[in-house]
């Protein structure tokens, strides 16, 4: 692995290479090597191909090299510090899978992946969330596969029973797009609803713009996840009445208007979020919350935000209160 600076600090890279052999008739049987062609790929680009909505809130994808070293994993922490002050850890590229998947005591998962096998493996694991402040005990199912031609093995961890029940509904394209384009609606930027990188003419498109083109049928070469688009259109329609509901709650709140609600927000499994501000942005207590700079509070390529996880884990009909550690209340 190498590193590249994206303007926001160093990012993890991996190199993909292939040999080039002579194809001339007189040398074809000799296997004459002409050279090697390769390119560096940001690991974040690999994560974008993972259908996060299919993995669930505690699901994750990971990859290891043929030596068992981690290429990408949620528990790989290769950098010190935050922001532009982040520095690379000296041995970040030689972290073995057993150092993060602690419950794999017999190396069942690790050995299968190193040997490029295909199959499943189940075990009870402990996972930390909220930057290590909370620990969950999960029953995980691990799926490992070998994609032909790749220099690494892929694995997926799912909470046992995830995907057993899904609620899906049908809405018309017209009403779905109408609600999806509402100004308080946003889609997970790092999720791939449509592949806008494959053709140069699509690279300027936002995901919502790409979805509109795909549904219109005017871009036959635009590849999109039809199932995910159907589900996100449904989520947009069924959550549309919330804006009026939230507004009515705020208008009927107590007379202490200076101590009222600043922001109401909602997220769905499809990466759709609705954000409703009741104060001007400059008056928000937390200026970064749910903005592009808030990497922990928005849907990312490799995780659901913490507030979404905690809400999904909570018993229905109860409230979750969260106080920042630097608030002075703890």
pLDDT in tens, 110-140: 999 998 888 988 888 877 777 667 777 888 8
pLDDT tens digits, one per residue of 234-281: 999 999 999 888 888 777 665 555 566 788 899 999 999 999 888 888
Q: How confident is the model at residue 1 (pLDDT cuts 50, 70, 90)?
A: very low
CATH superfamily of 3-18+43-159: PAS domain (3.30.450.20)
Strand order of the β-sheet with 3-5 is 3-5, 10-21, 33-42
pLDDT above 90 coverage of the chain, percent: 17
Q: State the number of CA atoms in the 13 A half-sphere of 171 facing the CB.
A: 22
Residue 200 has pLDDT above 90, yes or no: no
Angle 174-180-182 (CA atoms, 0-180°, nearest 5)? Answer: 110
Whole-number Å distance between alpha carbons of 208 and 181? 8
Domain ranges (residues) in the chain = 3-18+43-159, 173-239, 249-313
Residue 8 is predicted with a pLDDT of: 57
C-alpha separations of 45 from 14, 56, 90 in Å? 10, 20, 23
């Amino acid at each position: 692995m190498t590193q590249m600076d994206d303007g926001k600090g160093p990012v993890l890279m991996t190199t993909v290479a292939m040999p080039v052999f002579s194809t001339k008739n007189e040398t074809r049987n000799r296997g004459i090597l002409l050279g090697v062609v390769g390119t560096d790929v940001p690991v974040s680009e690999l994560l974008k191909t993972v259908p996060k909505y299919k993995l669930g809130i505690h699901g994750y994808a990971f990859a290891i090299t043929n030596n068992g070293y981690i290429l990408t994993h949620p528990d790989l922490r290769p950098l010190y510090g935050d922001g532009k002050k982040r520095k690379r850890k000296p041995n970040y590229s030689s972290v073995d899978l057993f150092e993060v998947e602690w419950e794999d005591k017999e190396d069942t998962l690790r050995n299968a992946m190193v040997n490029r096998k295909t199959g499943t493996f189940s075990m009870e694991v402990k996972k930390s969330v909220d930057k290590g402040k909370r620990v969950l005990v999960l029953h995980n199912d691990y799926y490992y596969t070998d994609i032909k031609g790749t220099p690494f093995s892929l694995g997926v961890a799912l909470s046992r029973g995830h995907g057993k029940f899904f609620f899906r509904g049908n809405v018309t394209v017209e009403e779905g797009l109408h609600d999806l384009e509402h100004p308080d609606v946003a889609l997970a930027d790092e999720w791939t609803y449509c592949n806008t990188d494959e053709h140069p003419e699509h690279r300027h498109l936002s995901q919502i713009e790409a979805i509109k083109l795909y549904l219109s049928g005017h871009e036959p070469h635009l590849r999109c996840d039809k199932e995910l688009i159907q589900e996100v259109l449904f989520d947009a329609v069924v959550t549309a009445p919330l804006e009026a509901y939230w507004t009515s709650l705020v208008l009927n709140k107590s007379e202490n208007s200076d101590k009222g609600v600043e922001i109401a927000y909602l997220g769905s499994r499809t990466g759709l979020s609705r954000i409703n501000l009741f104060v001007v942005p400059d008056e928000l207590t937390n200026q970064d919350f749910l903005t592009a700079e808030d990497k922990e509070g928005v849907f990312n390529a490799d995780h659901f935000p913490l507030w979404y996880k905690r809400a999904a884990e909570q018993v229905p009909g109860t409230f979750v209160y969260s106080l920042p550690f630097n608030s002075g209340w703890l």
